[in-house]
A and B are shown apart, each in its own frame.
Chain A
Amino acid sequence: MQMPDPNQMILDRKAHIVARLQDVLPDDAVIHSDNEVRAYECDALTAYKCPPLAAVLPANTAEVAAVLRICHEERVPVVPRGSGTSLAGGALPTADAIILGVSKLADVLETDYDNRFIRVQTGRTNLSVTGAVEHEGFFYAPDPSSQLACAIAGNVAMNSGGAHCLKYGVTTNNLLGVTMVTMEGEVVEIGGAHLDASGYDLLGLICGSEGQLGVVTEATLRILAKPEGARPILMAFDSNEVAGACVSDIIRAGVLPVAIEFMDRPCIEACEAFAKAGYPDCEALLIVEVEGSEAEITEQLEAIKAIAVTHNPVEMRESKSAAESAAIWLGRKSAFGAMGQINDYMCLDGTIPVSELPLVLRRISELSDEFGLKVANVFHAGDGNMHPLILFDANKPGDLETCEAFGAEILKLCVEVGGCLTGEHGVGIEKRDLMHVQFDHADLEMQLRVKDVFDPGWLLNPAKVFPLDVTEGRRQ
């Protein structure tokens, strides 16, 4: 993946730029030594690294605005950063860019249970939002697997999802308002505690804009009352096709589980070896979770089991206790960790129409043979969001490139069957050069014009999302 060459004129002015930033921030909030800036050289797409010019850690919205005004005046690119868990390289800097990290902005500003919202600074981690309200029986629904580490800032920027979004929606469906600072340093308030913001849906536009339209410093989030209980059932099948058909039938039947997760044999085996969750020996495994009172859980599980039986499952295992529920989820939740133990891996994130699942899984396994790299599939089956994990060896010359080429073929396949390049991780640099596969010139041009409105100088995270050749004339 190529990144634009750094602007030498900016590199030459580093001392001046750092001094100006130190004028508006405490000394320890401006990180500029070669050693220390390395901490910001990459996000969770670790194959790509580049230390930034400097990193700043403002502590409030006013400081963020002051930083952006300076960077705007100095024409320095800015890469916003939450916790750096992006899998798409969204927070990857260039050598001439300032990393603007929001990790010091971690406060809860307001909680209101009668109106069911919480207002937080965006450096706060996803899980600690729920942590702030759970004593009152509430939770924040979007639950990326990275929720212990990732920040609301990155969630809003990537419009992150999670295992439970089949029922509760993704970030954009749970976001009521933001405080955002534009590249010019202007603070704008969009939405609030009321249900619908006025005018054009700028909130919907900001969410998922990958740090290219503004720096989001505060967010008002919908919180929900916790259901009385939840219970998973594990169902094992002897082919991917059958498991896929079962998913479709469950959805059609009018039961709406909170989660339907799918794992194929390579993934099951890796998880077994790693987490010893006691999964059955099978080709494909579904974890379906339902919520509600005891009676409701039973009613839903009965309906689901009745459907599953028509697909001749190898095994069905309904949780009977909290410990059993945890065991069922254990393997799924440690899937990425398990894969990481065996190999380097690249995690893809395309979405497909659920009905195309069998076809796509078959094609992926054919491609796996062609490219000579193993692939394990784990994904949110209810909404068609796939996570093929391609295994490779970072130390073997050429393996990363083969892996990327293989990944590109899978993503093209997703688009071909009516899906998209990314369901929740974002485009970043990873899928940037594939945008042509999904979008025509006019589709992309319209998006670029949106950025022109918010950031006419193309200074905010400029080398992401769109193919570099398309944005060349706009970036300086």
Chain B
Amino acid sequence: MSEVLERVVRPAAEAELASIVKEAVTSKSSFQIRGGDTRPIGNPLAAAQVLETGGLTGITLYDPGALTLVARAGTPLSDIEAALDAEGQMLPFEPMDHRALLGTTGTPTIGGVVATNASGPRRLKAGSCRDSLIGVRFVTGEGEVVKNGGRVMKNVTGYDLVKLMAGSYGTLGVMTEVSFKVLPKPQATAVLLFEGLDTAEATACLADAMRSPFDVSGAAHIPVGVDGAPVTMIRIEGLEQSVSYRADALAKELRAHGTAEIETDPVRTEAGWRYVRDAEAFSGKPGDVWRVSVKPSDGQRVIAAAGAEDAFLDWQGGLVWLRMAEGVPLRDRIADIPGHATLIRGAGQRAFQPEPMALSRLAQGLRAKFDPHSLFNPGRMI
């Protein structure tokens, strides 16, 4: 995505941003919205200028006793994670770092996390970014400042535009501030590791783990692990004693699938889940990278039908990561499996799954209301 761009604007405040957009309405000059530029996901876009959010930074409110954090959209994710860490808390949804996979080098911002709804392995238990997002402020395509949601975790006042902004890839507005429900960091982690299961066996094993009462917070299967053998990973988190109890009980319950090795070393468990979260297996390797969302038991069908160079399952099989030869029309190959595929890295195909008429009409309708002059990220998503 190396468009030649003419101009970079970098407002330092929301009001300044709003007036820049108002001017752009008159001059009909579109924007590529850029946070850290670490997640250039979506269709190629051609915009007259770059609008950087990096000038809108700072945590504006952090109330650990209420599990809430509010920050300006350009705040580096690392600042937010450091602040939370100091209080033993975290963003529940384990946002992925796309840099190694996409070969980008910037500093991820919290706005970029929200715009791409970036969510990692814990999504299975804690929901995705949109589930933790409780408030937004954004500037519309007409330069109006709009707020929705707020800083409290239970709020049904008016329509939920908060969810709508998450995962809209900068096509509905420029977010200036985002609020989250956060969670206590788990004291301890244990990972059950099964070696040598084929994808069908692993799928059954993960399903059984999720049917157990042991509150699994990660369920992945890597058909070709680092040492060449398949690895199935199941994560349990929480208070110290509770974790060791649940890990043992779960291993017992899953005995039919083999003997689990239980890993509790924090450095190793963290590295293992980072490997899954960031699709590290694919970084530096050629080819298109796809992310396919299906019902968990269909993950294995996607792998069987895709003919990928490499593939693995997260979210119990509900998220399939595929590395394919360039240009292979994956969507044709898996057309009979309900769900959708996103092209995360690669060119020549639509990044987002084409939607049925009725839905795409609604989406177009919304875009026309939020950004009537198509100023923001034109072409990126719809």
* B157 pairs with A431, CB closer than 8 A: yes
Count contacts on A: residues with CB < 8 A to the other chain.
95
For A208, give its contact among B65, B159, B184 (CB under 8 Å): B159
* A423 with B152, Cβ < 8 A, contacts A115-B297, A200-B167, A354-B66 known: yes
* A114 pairs with B293, CB closer than 8 A: no
Interface segment out of the listed B38-46, B51-59, B359-367: B359-367
**Within 8 Å CB of A431, what residues of B?**
157
**Within 8 Å CB of B246, what residues of A?**
292-293, 296
Question: How far apart sit A397 and B190, CA to CA, in the bound complex (Å)?
Answer: 64
Interface segment out of the listed B78-86, B97-105, B123-131, B222-230: B123-131
Question: Chain B's nearest CB lies how many Å from the CB of A472?
Answer: 18
Question: How far apart sit A6 and B41, CA to CA, in the bound complex (Å)?
Answer: 50
Count contacts on B: residues with CB < 8 A to the other chain.
86
**Within 8 Å CB of A248, what residues of B?**
65-66
Question: Chain A's nearest CB lies how many Å from the CB of B114?
Answer: 11
Question: Chain A's nearest CB lies how many Å from the CB of B248?
Answer: 11
For B160, give its contact among A208, A296, A465, A466 (CB under 8 Å): A208
Q: Which of A113, A172, A195, A197 has the most CB of B within 10 A?
A: A195
* A194 pairs with B340, CB closer than 8 A: yes
For A450, give its contact among B87, B342, B366 (CB under 8 Å): B366
**Within 8 Å CB of A252, what residues of B?**
64-65, 87
* A427 pairs with B158, CB closer than 8 A: yes
Interface segment out of the listed B24-32, B237-245, B263-271: B237-245
* A196 pairs with B207, CB closer than 8 A: no
Q: Which of A115, A209, A226, A444 has the most CB of B within 10 A?
A: A115
* B339 pairs with A194, CB closer than 8 A: yes
* A114 with B296, Cβ < 8 A, contacts A208-B160, A227-B213, A249-B65 known: yes
Question: Chain A's nearest CB lies how many Å from the CB of B368?
Answer: 8
Question: How far apart sit A455 and B66, CA to CA, in the bound complex (Å)?
Answer: 37
Q: Which of A114, A159, A435 has the most CB of B within 10 A?
A: A114
Mark B146-157 against chain A: 1 for CB-CB distance below 8 A, else 0.
111011111111
Question: Chain A's nearest CB lies how many Å from the CB of B179?
Answer: 10
Interface residues of A in 230-280 (CB under 8 A from B): 248-249, 251-256
Question: How far apart sit A372 and B157, CA to CA, in the bound complex (Å)?
Answer: 28
* A296 with B65, Cβ < 8 A, contacts A188-B358, A454-B362 known: no
Question: Chain B's nearest CB lies how many Å from the CB of A41?
Answer: 25
Mark B336-369 against chain A: 1 for CB-CB distance below 8 A, else 0.
0011101000000000110110111011011011
For B117, give its contact among A173, A196, A209, A454 (CB under 8 Å): A196
For A228, give its contact among B213, B294, B365 (CB under 8 Å): B213
* A195 pairs with B123, CB closer than 8 A: yes
Q: Is B145 in the interface zone, CB < 8 Å from A?
A: yes
**Within 8 Å CB of A422, what residues of B?**
155-157
Question: Chain B's nearest CB lies how many Å from the CB of A288?
Answer: 15
Question: How far apart sit A169 and B67, CA to CA, in the bound complex (Å)?
Answer: 14
Query: Closest B-chain residue to A298, C-beta based?
Result: B241
For B211, give its contact among A137, A203, A380, A446 (CB under 8 Å): A137
**Within 8 Å CB of B64, what residues of A?**
252
Question: How far apart sit A259 and B312, CA to CA, in the bound complex (Å)?
Answer: 37
Q: Which of B123, B242, B294, B362 has the most CB of A within 10 A?
A: B362
For B242, give its contact among A189, A194, A296, A447 (CB under 8 Å): A296
Query: Closest A-chain residue to B155, C-beta based?
Result: A420
**Can you list 5 A-B contacts (CB < 8 A)?**
A169-B127, A200-B362, A203-B163, A420-B152, A453-B362
A196-B293, A207-B163, A293-B249 known; 6 new pairs, CB 8 Å cut-off, are: A188-B358, A227-B213, A299-B240, A353-B152, A420-B150, A446-B140
Task: Please name the 8 residue pairs, one residue from A and one from B, whose CB atoms are nearest each other, closest first.
Answer: A204-B163, A254-B184, A248-B65, A423-B154, A453-B365, A198-B340, A193-B295, A296-B242
